[in-house]
Amino acid sequence: MVVGEFVTHKQVIVIGGGPGGYHAAIRAAQLGLEVLLVEKEKIGGVCLNEGCIPSKLFAHAARQIRKMSGLDELGIRLGGSIDFDLSLLQQRKEQVIERLSQGVIALLEKYSVEVVQGKASFISAERIGVERGEAFDLYESEHVIISTGSGYTYPAEMQPDHQLIFDANSIYQVEELPKHLLVYGSDYLSLEVASTFSAFGTDVTIIMDEGKTAFPYDSAINRELFRQLKKAKIKCVKQAEVHGVTASSEGVKVDLEVKGEFKSVQGSHLYVAAEPSPNIEELQIQTAGIDQLENGLIATNEAMETSVNGIYAIGDVTSYQSLAVTAIRQGKVAAENCAGKSSVVDTSIIPHVIHFLQPVATTGLSEEMAKELGYEIKTGQFSMRGSGYAEILNEKNGFVKTVSEQESGRLLGFHAVGEDAIGLINQGVLALEMVAREEDLTSIFYPHPSLYEAWTESIEDIDSLAIHKG
Amino acid sequence: MVVGEFVTHKQVIVIGGGPGGYHAAIRAAQLGLEVLLVEKEKIGGVCLNEGCIPSKLFAHAARQIRKMSGLDELGIRLGGSIDFDLSLLQQRKEQVIERLSQGVIALLEKYSVEVVQGKASFISAERIGVERGEAFDLYESEHVIISTGSGYTYPAEMQPDHQLIFDANSIYQVEELPKHLLVYGSDYLSLEVASTFSAFGTDVTIIMDEGKTAFPYDSAINRELFRQLKKAKIKCVKQAEVHGVTASSEGVKVDLEVKGEFKSVQGSHLYVAAEPSPNIEELQIQTAGIDQLENGLIATNEAMETSVNGIYAIGDVTSYQSLAVTAIRQGKVAAENCAGKSSVVDTSIIPHVIHFLQPVATTGLSEEMAKELGYEIKTGQFSMRGSGYAEILNEKNGFVKTVSEQESGRLLGFHAVGEDAIGLINQGVLALEMVAREEDLTSIFYPHPSLYEAWTESIEDIDSLAIHKG
């Protein structure tokens, strides 16, 4: 290895080019700083190359397949059969990834961010080494933003081989459509995998992890999720403890204990939900004296600064929720602080969405959470059966639900299931952000007819004043 | 005619069962009042039976047809040809109208609203007569809500025969697909007709009415509308004055003068944009002493009360914009005031949407309007070419634009074109309602990836800080 003779100076070094990292790099450059971005693998990180983008493209295709059955009544007559060809979708995926990556690379160039492919580690609090094959370059910088993201930790008995046993990233690289996919997990990623492959024609069985009996959502949403799974003929094994997994030429067999009874489920492939495992070790952050939390994550304040002045950490290496949306905001905030602004992150209002059979989206407090936190609450709910626009779309299996504070009428939580739920939830996000009260959302004008009118009806329902509730 | 011997007493009489009227009737009943609803024709009015609902169903079908070309790259392979059968869509339309009408009728029953089919008119300020065929019944009431809506006034030379020459309602009842539809008009209804029938395979030529050269939107939206029309091969004749229309077995010929030159356009059918013409005459409101504005519309205050105590007017008979969304809100407000609450209508923030080739939606001030009103403004704009989710959907021809006040950063206007523009605009509606400032919409968390992230980028663009703007 050749260690560089001299030290290059930068104003900001960003380590990791995922969504958090590249947003940080661009924002810092926009604010006039000289920025180096070090990425070990691919610009865009897991989100762009393996996670969010591929999974949402696949979910989009799944949704289009489901919508085919509604075309006939709109007068759209198809002369022949409808076939699904996974290889075409994989080609499209490569195209989307390539275009988005090239887009990000062009933006980094536009802002004169220097991009280096290599493995970064701390030499000291001010000095970073970057290993690039045989070379090892030294950099010095006033500010460092750590955004190395995370890999996965799997349950001991379920190590993915990415041929028969997949994780959230490799499942979207599958080349042949699984005949029968076992999905071990109950988080949104697992639900998306189940929903998407079911639409493609795969038989799907969900095995709820760690003996769970419910998904982590408001009770009304939970009931709806189970109803949807049943309707889509996706089997669901609750309260299962996995004892072992056997992969063979026959497929994958999972041995389970369900309420004291031993049984096994056989599938052609297995998907395994995993815990994010932060990419910290290689960084040698102890050299820089950066404090870690007990669980190994990097401690930061709301400005995303670590215990070391000038060193920031964002995204999956921090204790915030492992979501691209969080990393993006954190990245901008860290960059703004590097540029002398005082910016902070408040993640109290985040939308959680599932690109599911029928989309699901939620923000703020569930009814149960609000009660647990000691709020006196009121709830309202409105079924899309009462929506004229849902009738037009023939998408009546959905509802919205709102949670508000008894005395003040302040809105605390928004929940939506069904067509356009992921669009609908943004009203909730903004309403929570603006500390809106019930009357703010009942006096509002939504396009007519549109699904958004459901929010008004849900809030009117709190006082039994929803117009279209039968 | 048999005039009733006695007078029936009601607490509220609603005249007209369109969206405004039935919302008013139900809200009044919800608040404990005894309500009579008089409807001359069909419950749901023009909106449900001929206008909003049919047009949005047709626009939905048009949109699905346009999306067919994107299926292949998602791996969805169609074995045969795609045909459009208008009669199937007409059947579906009848089904949707029937279901929604039955739904409203069931709601009126649920709330014990008495529904009478007949023609109402004022006998005095307190007394209403209802003509039902041979019978003429008398009613007395503390409160009357007038919601008789409007018909149309057409340009003198273009009277619809509803066979070759259509208006905004009859066009959606057409039984055979027009081969070449001339669309005379430049309002949103005309644009929707042009867009929808173009998707069905009809050749469409727009003749901009009254010599116009632009559509009534923000300049950025206007440019986009023309671009879309061109791309969809919809011809557009600007600055045309119509001199005459001839309908014959050959179709419809429109004689025009364009910049001093005379020419004619030939089509198979003609659509004519019309001015709403309020249904007031039959009511004999002068008997009740209700004041009218110079243009004949009924004068009201913000509580929707007319010059006569206890008599309210809502919807198209008032001077507010002729939109279902306005009538609905006014109906609730009038009903609430009948029940002793003090409710007012503020229509300063209304979304305007076009279910167009690519949907268009706008709320608040356009750049031009804001300047005219004397605001010092800033604008931001973001193209969907920079959106990862638009790449997934392959819907990159769109943008959002925001207008804000220079000094305060208060948001004044939101404009969106492209996929899901009609969903996106609701963020603008709520932001304006809550008097949001730029920072409220840049610190917000939108699902990633989603089109909503474009709002953040548009506002960041004001200070040249949009991340994905190349």
Is the pLDDT reported for residue A82 higher than 80?
A: yes
Q: How near does any CA of chain B get to the CA of A399, in Å?
A: 16
Mean pLDDT of A161-175: 96
What value does the mean pLDDT of chain B take?
Answer: 95
- What's CA A297's distance to the chain center, in Å? 19
Within a domain: residue A350? no
Is B259 part of a structural domain of the chain?
yes
Over residues B232-239, mean pLDDT: 95
- Of the candidates B60, B423, B470, the beta carbon closest to that of A420 is on B423
Inter-CA distances, A103 with A46, A109, B116, B122, B354, Å: 16, 10, 63, 67, 31
Average pLDDT of the residues of chain A: 95
Q: How many CB atoms lie within 10 A of CB A164?
A: 18
Query: Does pLDDT of A4 surpass 60?
Result: no
Name the band, by pLDDT with cuts 50, 70 and 90, for residue A210: confident
pLDDT band at A3 (very low <50, low <70, confident <90, very high): low
- A333 within some domain: yes
**What residues have CB less than 8 Å from A352, skipping those under 6 apart?**
A188, A217, A361, A362, A363
CB atoms within 10 A of CB A229: 21
Q: What is the pLDDT of residues A373-392, one digit of tens each?
A: 999 999 999 999 999 999 99
Clarify whether residues B88 and B31 are in a common domain.
Answer: yes
Say if residue B2's pLDDT is above 60: no
Contact present, B67 and B183 (Cβ < 8 Å): no
Chain B residues with beta carbon closer than 8 angstroms to that of A391: 96, 99-100
Angle between helices A52-67 and A188-200 (to 10 degrees): 40
Are B11 and B33 in contact by the 8 Å Cβ rule? The answer is yes
Which tokens belong to A381? 């709910």
A218 has pLDDT over 70: yes
Let me know if A422 is exposed, middle or buried by CB neighbors in 10 A (0-12, 13-18, 19+): buried
Residue B216's pLDDT band (cuts 50, 70, 90):
confident
- ipTM of the shown complex: 0.96
Q: What is the CATH number of the domain that holds B62?
A: 3.50.50.60
- The C-alpha torsion from B99 through B104 and B108 to B109, rounded to 10°, is 10
> Residue A96's pLDDT is what?
98
Contact B79 A82 (CB under 8 A): yes
Nearest-Cα residue of chain B relative to residue A58: B74
Whether A414 contacts A431, CB under 8 Å:
yes
Sign of CA dihedral A430, A434, A439, A440: negative
- In chain B, the N- to C-terminal Cα span, in Å, equals 75
One domain, residues B200 and B135: no
Q: Is residue A345 part of a domain?
A: no
Report the residue from B88, B446, B464 with minimal CB separation from A325.
Answer: B446
Count of other CB atoms within 10 angstroms of residue A281: 11
pLDDT digits (tens, 9 = 90+) for B291-334: 999 999 999 999 999 999 999 999 999 999 889 999 999 999 99
**pLDDT recorded at residue B396:** 95
Q: Inform me whether the pLDDT recorded for A176 exceeds 90.
A: yes
> What is the C-alpha separation between A290 and A318, in angstroms, rounded?
12
Tokens of A270: 């297995």
**Same domain as B162, residue B252:** yes
Q: For residue A7, give the amino acid letter.
A: V
Q: Please indicate, yes or no, if residue A231 is contained in any of the structural domains.
A: yes
Q: Are B322 and B273 in contact, with CB atoms under 8 Å apart?
A: no
Residue A166 is assigned to a structural domain of this protein: yes
Evaluate if residue B3 carries a pLDDT over 80.
no
- Give the domain-ending residue among B235, B252, B273: B273
Q: What is the pLDDT of residue A303?
A: 98
Task: Give the rounded distance of the alpha carbon of A48 from its chain centre.
Answer: 12
B168 φ/ψ angles, rounded to the nearest 5 degrees: -60, -25
Across the interface, which of B392, B445, B467 has its CB nearest the CB of A429?
B445
Residue of B23, B325, B425 lying closest to A467 (CB–CB): B23
CA distance A74 to chain B (A): 5
A170 in the same domain as A308: no
pLDDT band of residue A202 (cuts 50, 70, 90) is very high
User: Rg (Cα) of chain B, in Å, rounded?
Assistant: 24
| B470 inside domain | no
CA distance A446 to A383: 17
Mean pLDDT, range A149-171, rounded to an integer: 94
| Band of pLDDT at residue A5, cut at 50, 70 and 90 | low
B38 min Cα distance to partner chain A (Å): 19
Q: Directed axis angle between helix B86-110 and helix B19-30, to 10°?
A: 30
Whether the pLDDT of residue A320 is over 80: the answer is: yes
Residues of A in contact with B96 (CB under 8 A): 391-392
Q: Are residues B6 and B130 in the same domain?
A: yes
Copy the structure tokens of residue A266.
Answer: 């056989």
Residues of chain A neighbouring B423 (CB-CB closer than 8 A): 420, 423-424, 450, 452
B138 and B44 in a common domain:
yes
The overall longest dimension of chain A from CA atoms, in Å, is 78
Q: What percentage of chain B has pLDDT greater than the value 90?
A: 93
User: What percent of chain A has pLDDT above 90?
Assistant: 93
On whether both A7 and A133 belong to a single domain, the answer is yes
pLDDT digits (tens, 9 = 90+) for B376-435: 999 999 999 999 999 999 999 999 999 999 999 999 999 999 999 999 999 999 999 999
CATH no. for residue A418? Answer: 3.30.390.30
Pair B233, B163 in one domain: yes
Place of tokens 């008032």: B318
For residue B297, the 8-state DSSP code is P
Structural domain boundaries, residue A134: 2-152+277-338
Per cent of chain A over pLDDT 70 is 99
Q: Please measure the distance between the N-terminal and C-terminal CA atoms of chain A and give it in whole angstroms.
A: 75
Q: Do B447 and A425 touch (CB under 8 A)?
A: yes
Any residues with CB less than 8 A from the CB of A286 and at least 6 apart, and which? none
Active-site residue (options: A23, A243, A415, A448): A448
Same domain, yes or no: A38 and A144: yes
Mutate to test the interface with A, among B316, B392, B425 (most CBs of A within 10 A): B392
| End residue of a domain, out of A237, A252, A273 | A273
Does B4 have pLDDT greater than 60?
A: no
Contact (Cβ atoms closer than 8 angstroms) between residue B218 and residue B414: no
Same domain, B40 and B143: yes
Question: What tens digit of pLDDT does each residue of A397-422 get?
Answer: 999 999 999 999 999 999 999 999 99
Are B243 and B314 members of one domain?
A: no
Predicted confidence (pLDDT) at residue A192 exceeds the cutoff of 70: yes
Percent of chain B with pLDDT over 70: 99
Q: Given this model, what pLDDT does residue B85 score?
A: 98
The predicted pLDDT at position A1 comes to 55
What are the chain A neighbours of B82 within 8 Å (beta carbons)?
76-79
> How many whole angstroms separate alpha carbon B115 and alpha carbon B135?
15
- Pairwise CB contact (< 8 Å): A106 & B470: yes
Decide if B334 contacts B31 (C-beta within 8 A): no
Q: Residue A310 burial by CB count (10 A; 0-12/13-18/19+): exposed, middle or buried?
A: middle
Q: Is A448 a catalytic residue?
A: yes
Amino acid B1: pLDDT: 54
pLDDT tier, B210 (very low <50, low <70, confident <90, very high otherwise) = confident
- B6–chain A nearest CA distance, Å: 33
- The count of other CB atoms within 10 Å of the CB of residue A291 is 12
Q: A–B: how many Cβ contacts below 8 A?
A: 261
Q: Give the other-Cβ count within 10 Å of B442's Cβ.
A: 19
Distance CA A130, CA A138 (A): 6
Assign B5 a pLDDT band (cuts: 50, 70, 90): low
Residues from chain A contacting residue B74 (CB–CB below 8 Å): 60-61, 64, 88-89, 92
CB B79 within 8 A of CB A79: yes
Closest CA to A149 of A43, A36, A35, A289: A43
The domain total for chain A is 3
Convert the pLDDT of each residue in B339-379 to its tens digit.
999 999 999 999 999 999 999 999 999 999 999 999 999 99
Q: Is residue A344 part of a domain?
A: no
Whether residues A187 and A249 share a domain: the answer is: yes
What residues in B contact A464, CB-CB < 8 Å?
30
Q: How far is B86 from chain A (nearest CA, A)?
A: 6
Q: Select from A434, A455, A467 the residue whose CB has the most chain B CBs within 10 Å, as the one to mutate to test that interface.
A: A467
Phi, psi for residue B224 in degrees, rounded to 5: -65, -40
